[in-house]
Structure 1
């Protein structure tokens, strides 16, 4: 559930409970006033008034609980927005060829499926009574699309039929899974002698790697934002990378 939807659902429940409680209090107050007036005029005996009061004294605590239970068990369709996933389910996943995958996701579909298999232990979620969990493939696709394009979270969410907060969560979950599951396996120093020989064959003797860095633009942190201003005047994080003779990462550092 999106945060805004959750807040709306909670507020509806709170407002409903307030209405029920206020209704009960008003009924009790009206009955008490009516009873005093009739007693003053001697219209009925105390026993008759007690009987009438018990029959018209508003909802009981049990009735209030039953009504609140009905509110809490409302079906999800009353507060959830309907979204479409046809573009992902029936076009991208089934129709696109490798060239389209490579152009949009920076990898072919076969590589994408292999990546999903490797990340599945960390990204596979269970369905709940409220909703069906996103598949691993869709979660990875959302993250890759956001990382490979300049689209906003809202735009990516519209593409895949999810909320923008879901897009943000998918990006963080996939990045964390890659760091925990793939980084120790993929980014390794490798065989130094093979790397040195590879560079020597290219005309660079006694070379163990090629190193470079880049600035990744970020939003200003809430505190100490001035410390992230680079020499070109904008706020960024520095990425340093080392690659071997085949262009494979052997070491990365972000800070």
Structure 2
């Protein structure tokens, strides 16, 4: 009996020790597993931070490289433009004919007001006004291979052509511009004046303006029911090839009819340029009579 009791006690002690050992092993395994998870989490966090650091470094490197490439591109463009501007223009002698522009830059710049008015038929103030007003239409931009004609020279060239009876070759020698450029500048100036200045300065009067014109004529000149003075002039022209069938005027030369109407103060309020025919004067006068008869 005593042996059985001792064996039972021994078995219970062994079972208890084994249970405690199993419990300790379980706790150790749990701690080991938790530690392993913490190590894995820390490793993942370090890898994520390292990856973010390398991504930021790569982005910064790409931005710096892109900035260097852009700076290099701008630098190369600047050098190329400077080279073409300083060297290529000097070598281009085939399409560039050297001319002396001393008359416009020195002689015309030293004109007095009377000399300026005699050569260009406008004052310096009017010349400046024309340059300011027509600048959006006449100003040109310099290119890599050629400098454009300045705005003041373009306006002065056209005014000199309109004020003096000279050919394009004479203007080419005076202003140091090609003959084709002279023709183009004159036509562009005339077109700009017609499209920009004429609607501003030559305006058809309304009913109130016509009544004021009639009162001014009556009070100043004693002429009743007069709103303007009309006259015309024949401008002789050389017969163009496509106008061979047109007849000359009454003085037996081909001309373009220029007709104008002014008020009592001498201000223009109508202009008309007719085709080179003999019956333009009658048609233009009848048109003006029909326009003013209703008033």
TM-score range (shorter-chain normalised) is: 0.5 to 0.7
| Bigger RCO (CA 8 Å, 6+ sep) | 1
What residue in structure 1 maps to residue 254 of structure 2?
Answer: 235
Q: Secondary structure at the match of 1:226?
A: coil
CA distance in 2, matches of 1:253, 1:182: 15
- Contact 1:228/1:236 (8 A) holds in 2: no
- Contact 1:239/1:254 (8 A) holds in 2: yes
- For structure 2, the 5+ residue unaligned runs are 1-87, 275-295
Quick check: which one's helix share is greater?
A: 2
Q: Secondary structure at the match of 1:205?
A: coil
Number of aligned residue pairs:
183
- For structure 1, the 5+ residue unaligned runs are 1-71
Matched, 1:99 2:114: yes
Q: Secondary structure at the match of 1:204?
A: coil
- Contact 2:89/2:145 (8 A) holds in 1: no
Q: 2:93 aligns with which of 53, 77, 94?
A: 77
Q: Secondary structure at the match of 1:229?
A: coil
**TM-score normalized by structure 2?**
0.59
Matched, 1:178 2:193: yes
Q: Which one has the largest radius of gyration?
A: 2
How do 1:58-77 residues align onto structure 2 when only pairs under 5 Å count?
A: 75-77=91-93
**TM-score normalized by structure 1?**
0.68
Offset at 1:221?
Answer: 2.2
CA distance in 2, matches of 1:108, 1:139: 16
CA distance in 2, matches of 1:73, 1:213: 50
CA distance in 2, matches of 1:83, 1:254: 36
What residue in structure 1 maps to residue 245 of structure 2?
Answer: 226
Matched, 1:166 2:184: no
Q: 1:221 to 1:197 in 2, by over 3 A?
A: same
Offset at 1:219?
Answer: 2.3
Write out per-residue CA displacement over residues 53-91 of structure 1, whole angstroms, 9 at most, x where no aligned residue.
Answer: xxxxxxxxxxxxxxxxxxx99932244210111211122
Q: Superposition RMSD on alpha carbons, in Å?
A: 1.9
Stretches of 4+ aligned residues off by more than 4 angstroms:
none
CA distance in 2, matches of 1:158, 1:228: 36
